[in-house]
Amino acid sequence: MISCFETVELRDGLYFELDAHLSLLRTALSTLGLPPLDEPQLSRALELARSHPPEPEGVDSLRRVRVSWDDRGEPIVVASPMLVHTTPAAVFVDPEPRLLSTASWAGLKTTSYRSATAYSSEHPASDEVLMVNELRSICGGGYSNLFTVVRGSLITPRVGSGSRAGVTRSLIIEGLRDAGVEVFEGTLSVDDVLNADEAFLTSTGRHVQAIGSINGNCYPPERPVTEIAARTFNQIYNESFRWS
């Protein structure tokens, strides 16, 4: 069975940026040649997850909802408690290529997660692993997007490198640019990341998570750009029109 999925945040009965997540899911299904979403069926499943109370009772209402769609055209919607990562992440990067940037499936969450799961098992002490493409450029995290400050410039791997077009990534880029912060979408080498001034990860479950160390080497504790990115995302996150 082949399936695609997206992960959406659910808080107090409202989904965060639901349309953006479902748009990525539709793109992935089309790319892999899977049946299109049955919109009424999906809506019923999402409403069921929305109305189901958190387990156990009394826990925070923040939940992660995983929306999967398989080659049989059936939705699987699973809600579980969600805890946003707040402590700095320990990250590992291996210079050996793990992804092919020119493949039609490059940058899809389903395929990057599959590669990352195998890769992560080799480095169980790491919170995230960074993937490298056939050109030995960094694609980003297996489960997240990467931003780095290299010689004073904030850079994130471009989508064509094999990086995922994550919803949180897009919101961060837009929010920072609106605030007057330059964000470059470009190419990052392994050395760029190893010698960066600071770096952070973005995803549904991380929001903005600082990277504390890479391959066992610690980044400086001062993270001014990461702090700006975190504040920017918090403002976006609290905009009521983004919840539905």
Residues in CB range of 54: below 8 A, 6 or more apart = 60, 61, 63, 81
What are residue 211's phi and psi, to 5 degrees?
-95, 120
**Hey, which CATH number is domain 89-237, 2.40.30.30, 3.20.10.10, 3.40.50.2300, 3.40.47.10?**
3.20.10.10
- The C-alpha atoms of residue 51 and residue 38 are separated, in whole angstroms, by 20
Residue type, 213: S
- Predicted confidence (pLDDT) at residue 110 exceeds the cutoff of 70: no
- Predicted confidence (pLDDT) at residue 55 exceeds the cutoff of 60: no
* Overall average pLDDT of the 63-81 stretch: 87
Residue 69: the pLDDT is: 83
Work out the mean pLDDT of the chain and round it to a whole number.
89
What are 128-175's pLDDT values in tens digits?
Answer: 999 898 999 999 988 899 999 999 999 999 998 888 899 999 999 999
Q: Which of 181, 190, 191 is nearest to 153 (CA)?
A: 181
Q: Band of the pLDDT at 4, cuts 50, 70, 90?
A: confident
What are 78-87's pLDDT values in tens digits?
Answer: 999 998 998 9
* Overall average pLDDT of the 177-184 stretch: 97
Q: Which of 88, 111, 85 is nearest to 100 (CA)?
A: 111
Domain ranges of the chain: 3-81, 89-237
What are residue 140's phi and psi, to 5 degrees?
130, -170
Q: Judge contact between 94 and 152, C-beta under 8 A.
A: no
Residue 74: the pLDDT is: 79
- The C-alpha atoms of residue 30 and residue 12 are separated, in whole angstroms, by 32
- Predicted confidence (pLDDT) at residue 58 exceeds the cutoff of 80: no
Q: Band of the pLDDT at 112, cuts 50, 70, 90?
A: low
Residue owning tokens 């590992």: 92
Domain 3-81 grouped into CATH 3.30.470.10: yes
Task: State the burial class of residue 54 (Cβ atoms within 10 Å of its Cβ: 0-12, 13-18, 19+).
Answer: middle
Q: Judge contact between 90 and 213, C-beta under 8 A.
A: yes
Residue 97: the pLDDT is: 82
* Overall average pLDDT of the 87-99 stretch: 89
Q: What percent of the chain has pLDDT over 90?
A: 64
Residue 157: the pLDDT is: 96
What are 187-220's pLDDT values in tens digits?
Answer: 999 999 999 999 999 999 999 999 999 999 999 9
Longest dimension (CA), the chain: 50
